[in-house]
Amino acid sequence: MAGLIARALLLALSTVALSQVALAAAAEEGDDGADEVPGDLGRLAPSPAKLMHDYRVYAQDSPSEPFTAPRAPMLARYSSAALRARIDRSTAGSVVIAPLLDESGFKSLTTAVGQGLRELARRQLGGLRAIIVADGYVDLPLLAKSLPKDAIEQVAPGIYVARLPILVRHGATLQVGPGVRQLRLSQERGALIANEGMLFILDSEVTGWSEQRKAPARFHDEHEFRPFIVGWGGSETYIDRSRIAHLGYASTKAFGLSLTQYSTMAIERAVWPRPTGWVLNSDIEDLWYGFYSWEADDVVLRGNTFRNNVKYGIDPHDRSRGLIIADNEVFGTRRKHGIIISRDVDDSWIIGNRSHNNNLSGIVLDRQCSNNVLARNLTYRNGSDGIVISESPHNLLWSNLSVGNQHHGIRLRNSTGIRIQDSSAIANGLAGIFAVASDLSTTGRNLTLDPYRQSLSMTVVGGQLSANGSGPINLEAPTRVEMQNLDLRTPQRALGYKLGGALYAFQIEVLDILLNGRRTAVLEQQPANDPLARR
């Protein structure tokens, strides 16, 4: 009977238009807007006379706001020993096989048109079932011993194949390793790990696995089901010295390794706090998203290698906060950016990372991400920019280096209150710093969900801007910019420095203030009613 129900469910779901499925998945995913093409891209540059009418340049002794170094988080707190001390083995747990439709940990995996359930119904034999860690502490070998081989099987010493989804309920703990060399999640059978309690993956490997091909479930197509790990509201997920590989596809919360609150329609989101977790000293490879979060708090990603992931390397998303992304190496992202935080991801630290050789940019802040610190990061050889700040006010870039990126070293758009302190951009293909206030009204952006102000203001103090292809700094339609103590050695052009955009008409004055006067140069828009062209 259960099998008939599953097949009936599959038939019903398959009648839904594929376009509806795609639209629902895209809406849930919340793609980034950092690469939208603005409607004013092809406009003519203003003439020097126009610039001199609209702007003024003057000197002041120091920036309007002095720099006070923020107190960085104590990274030593996030160690292997501290992580392992969180394991509570005091209460032995229990494991059952039960219908998954009754579990909150699976309900939020479906879009409004049931996409996630359709995939599981296609792949399960004998109905929609799951392995449930119901309570207490359970390690993987004990779990495998207590269940039949069609659910989970040890196929070689320390190597296990899970053939059903695994759910860790609230109040329960599942530990994978040490002693577990590899947990293979069967692609053909719809295996995955959903965590509502506590999940520890230690000195082990969790990988998507094709039993048919007897090989890892490497990425082929974004719509092809691949197993994944997801932590829900109330959960804590801890990974240390492990490998997470070949997971995720383009479906709701199924991106690879995700920490996410329940979906907006789920009543559980009103009951359970936002998810959290640490990922330390691990290798993350060939995931649809190397890491994704949605409404997660205090997540720590430290000392990991994110290599050859598909769409993004690291992507904390909507309303995640208090994150620490530190000392990671992120490279080889095949479609977009190495590290991106997007849509109201606030009060976080991105420090000491190396993001390089990604298809687009190294590090991106996108869509109203505020009060974040980017410090001591190295971005190089990326296919687009080194660091991008898009529609994200009040952020600090401190002691970063962007070198050898194909486009700009640092790119800003529609962002105010940005401070670039002691950060350098060297030998990038275009400008060292490029900043613009752009009209996005023709890009298709949802302006209700993602509002913005067409405004740009920043303070640039210290750092080297040298040998960049189109000059050290280019500003288009800024509101106010302050610059001090810039090292402009080694211009790329044979004719010397070229300040671009709104700075073009004031190059002599600006360079005189910066290089000869050793003072702060201020460029600001003229008040609309000011009859004077310049001060």
Separation between Cα atoms, residue 161 and residue 179, nearest integer Å:
15
Type and span of the H or E element at 129: strand 129-139
* From 53, 220, 246, 317, the catalytic residue: 317
Three-class DSSP category at 23: helix
- Both structure tokens of 272: 């359970």
Other beta carbons less than 10 A from residue 221's beta carbon = 9
Q: Which residue type does 186 have?
A: S
Rounded Cα gap, residues 435 and 399, in angstroms: 19
Instruction: Report the candidate in 449, 452, 337, 451 with the shortest Cα–Cα distance to residue 27.
Output: 449
Identity of the amino acid at 386: G
Residue 505 DSSP label: G
Sequence-distant (≥ 6) Cβ neighbours of residue 87 within 8 angstroms: 137, 173, 175, 198, 200
Nearest-angstrom CA–CA distance, 159 and 209: 12
Pair of tokens at residue 262: 């329940």
- In angstroms, the first-to-last Cα distance of the chain is 84
- Per residue, the 3-state secondary structure of 152-209, as one string, reads EEEEECCEEEECCCEEECCCEEEEECCCCCEEEEECCCCCCEEECCEEEEECCEEEEE
CB under 8 Å to 529, separation ≥6 — which residues? none
DSSP string, 62-107: S-SS---------GGGS-HHHHHTT---SSB-EEEEEEGGG-HHHH
Q: Which of 434, 386, 431, 400 is nearest to 414 (CA)?
A: 434
Q: Give the span between the Cα atoms of 535 and 523, in whole angstroms.
A: 11
Q: For residues 332 and 307, give the distance between their C-alpha atoms in angstroms, rounded to a whole number.
A: 6
Among candidates 529, 526, 535, which has minimal Cα distance to 53? 526
458 closest CA partner among 376, 397, 403: 397
Distance (Å, whole) CA 286 – CA 39:
35
How, if at all, do strands 193-195 and 229-231 pair?
Answer: parallel
- 220 given a catalytic annotation: no
Residues in CB range of 180: below 8 A, 6 or more apart: 140, 141, 158, 160, 204
What does the alpha-carbon distance between residue 137 and residue 146 come to, in Å, rounded to a whole number? 14
Give the position of tokens 């002693």.
179
Q: What secondary structure letter does DSSP report for 472?
A: S
Structure tokens belonging to residue 483? 């610059």
Report the catalytic residues: 317
